[in-house]
Amino acid sequence: YKMIFISWFYRSLIKIGGMQMKLLTFPFGGMFQENRDRDGLFLDAVYILCMEDRPKPKLDVEGMLDHAKEVVLLFSDKVAEWTVDYKNIKVRVELVDRTDFCQSYKATNINSFIKYRPYFDIPIKRSYALYDAQNRNMKYIWMIDDDIMVSKENYLRAIYALKIGKTAVGFHVPKFPDISTIDHIERIVYNQEPCISMTGSCMFLNVEKATGYFPFAYNEDLFFYMQQTNPNEIVSGGIVRQSENTPWLNFDRVRHEQFGDFIYNAFKKRFMNWVNGPIMWRDEKENQLRRLEELFTHTADPVLKNVLVEASEAMRNVCIDEVKQFVDDCHFAEWVYK
């Protein structure tokens, strides 16, 4: 990548291949630029979020054993055939759905939008990885989605950040942004780039310092960051790449995302100083419905129109009391509200 960084109070602008992208770097996700070349073992474990119907992870699985004591491949209930290719006993396969932790998690993390996408398992896998690491007295772990590609510089930067005391190191994904389907549609309709928050699709953690969990909702990684006590200890290790896909073609995903996307965007407006004062959830809901309506009127694409109809219907089903209860249950840190 050819990158040019321009630091602002709450965001950074970068250029990748001549295209300008906006990165949200405040109140968490500030760019961590330092690294120290380090050889040998450092991580206790690497947890890779896998799916049975997807190809091998982009990450060199057995190569990670040069840097970690073990690699754990997390699946839901069925294992992909390619797992037999890994012969090293330090590559462990875990079926999360068959654990007691998973049953307890599902019983205590309930919201009405689960019905749209009951197979959505990313928050459970991430929460399980953190639970497993805590239960086995690990200190440093790396969680990564199977479609993320990282550089050596990304790795070294993240390791050094943990070494000097950071709690969490995430990354920004601007090449194919890890954003909601509605943000993707807005990008297409208005031909403008969104301001991208730091993702949890590639996350290094100091397990001893991390608090909270990953709620059972879209944007669970961002909600996890918002539970950490010190935003200055939640940094971005730079830019990583993600395999391209077309999430706006999946209506179940579109419906499911509205709950978590709505909640995070209400906070994001305040992080970016677009809006001040306490969150008035009913007003935010009306604003979001207007946003969807305006997108509908500004596109002639029948596929995008259908997606927006589904999103609007799901958004109308958002219950404000449920939103308030969800936010209360997350126990966000004090800095989130300042």
What values do phi and psi take at 284, rounded to 5? -65, -40
Helices (H) and strands (E) in the chain, counts: 9, 14
Closest by Cα among 217, 142, 218 to 181: 218
CA angle 89, 90, 94 (to 5 degrees): 90
Higher pLDDT, 21 or 324: 324
Do 262 and 318 contact (CB within 8 A), yes or no?
yes
* pLDDT, position 193: 85
pLDDT band at residue 15 under the 50/70/90 scheme: low
Q: Say if residue 246's pLDDT is above 80.
A: no
Tokens of 166: 């950071």
Residue 262 per-residue DSSP state:
H
pLDDT of residue 216: 97
Per cent of the chain over pLDDT 90 is 81
Most confident of 39-43, 138-142, 148-152: 138-142
Encoded tokens for 153: 């510089």
> Can you tell me the distance from the alpha carbon of 312 to that of 127, in angstroms, rounded to the nearest whole number?
30
Rounded to an integer, the average pLDDT of 317-328 is 98
Q: What is the pLDDT of residues 262-275, one digit of tens each?
A: 999 999 999 998 88
Q: How confident is the model at residue 4 (pLDDT cuts 50, 70, 90)?
A: very low
- State residue 19's pLDDT score: 53
Q: CA dihedral defined by 322, 276, 211, 207, rounded to 10 degrees?
A: 130
List phi, psi (to 5°) of 188: -70, -45
The mean of the pLDDT values for the chain is: 91
Instruction: Give the C-alpha separation, 220 to 132, whole Å.
Output: 18
**pLDDT over 70 (residue 321):** yes
Q: Please report the sign of the dihedral spanned by the C-alpha atoms of residue 250, residue 195, residue 58, residue 138.
A: negative
Q: Rounded CA gap, 35 and 161, in Å?
A: 8
Read off the tokens for 337.
């509200």
Query: Hey, what amino acid is at 257?
Result: E
Predicted pLDDT at 93 = 97
- Helix (H), strand (E) at residue 48: strand 45-49
pTM here is 0.93
Summarize pLDDT for 213-226 with one digit per residue, the tens.
999 999 999 999 99
- Residues 139 and 162: their CA atoms lie apart, in Å, by 10
User: What are the pLDDT digits (tens) for 195-211?
Assistant: 999 999 999 999 999 99
pLDDT at 156 over 80: yes
